[in-house]
Structure 1
Amino acid sequence: MAEYFGSCLCGGVRFVVRGDFDSFYLCHCQHCQKDTGAAYAANLFSPSAQLVWQSGVDKVTTFTLPGTQHSKSFCKVCGSALPCTQLPSLLMVPAGCLDTKLSLVPTAHIFTSSKPEWENELAGVPEFKTLPI
């Protein structure tokens, strides 16, 4: 059985996910753009993996957008995205909160009709390994 360890940015929340992920979606919907501040959210999903909070569960809060199934769990201290169990029988884990190296590649881009126009023009943008100052 696979084990994935994760934490928030401030280190106050730590968790382990035991089991496998069924899908890894890059979601471009407007809700994910708003709650990440980015062009898309990179989320892993599993109907069977088990989430165990190792520390800081009292720092975890969840926001559900009224009238939708869109939920986001995060650390109350640093705001980092954390695993969410609000969807019935489905664990959602933001890929960026994992400390364990992830060998999975994304399954698909979803809600691409909401992609920002600038995201289609990234092929020629320079890349830097660190902040280019």
Structure 2
Amino acid sequence: MKIKEYHGGCLCGHIRFVAHGEAHHPHTCSCTLCQRHSGSLTLCWVEFPKDQVQWTGPGGTPSLYRSSAASCRAFCSICGSTLGAIDDAPTLGLLLGAFDKKNQKSMVPEFHSFRASRPRWWKIAIANGSKE
């Protein structure tokens, strides 16, 4: 059986990645760190074990900003694209918008984190039918 591969990268192509295996915990998040990091009210995430992600572009690994005690936010130092978060744990979260093919069943968000941090008028609908 062939192992799944997910390809993606930043806006300018300086940072590219390949994630191997199964995507874990696809979700949306409205925490204040995600909002500040992206300039958006909500981000869509999918997680992979760090050892299943390879940085393949000419820029190598993304630039990092220590955003909390347990995690760094990853971005391209050339174009500024937000790529995800590299946790101190063996987990790496990648933003769905950074993937080349976003319309894959394994990437459909299953839940929404930090609902209380979003404005009341911002409604999130998750594919499993839940809506706030």
TM-score range, shorter chain: 0.7 to 0.9
Structure 2 equivalent of residue 65 of structure 1: 67
- Cα distance change of structure 1 residues 13 and 91 upon mapping to structure 2, 3 Å threshold: same
Taking a change above 3 Å as real, the CA distance of residues 88 and 70 of structure 1, as seen in their structure-2 partners, is: closer
Partner of 1:119: 122
Structure 1 length as normaliser, TM-score?
A: 0.79
Whole-Å separation in 2 of the counterparts to 1:101 and 1:26: 14
> Partner letter of residue 38 of structure 2?
T
- Residue among 53, 56, 59 paired with 1:54: 56
Q: Match for residue 82 of structure 1?
A: 83
**Unaligned runs of at least 5 residues, structure 1:** 122-133
- Aligned residue for 2:8, secondary structure, equals strand
User: Which structure has the highest strand share of the two?
Assistant: 2
Aligned length: 121
For normalisation by structure 2, the TM-score amounts to 0.79
Contact residue 28 and residue 44 of structure 2 kept, 8 A: yes
User: How much identity, in percent, do the aligned residues show?
Assistant: 30
RMSD: 2.3
Gaps of 5+ in 2: 125-132
Which stretches of structure 1, 4 residues or more, deviate above 6 A after TM superposition?
none
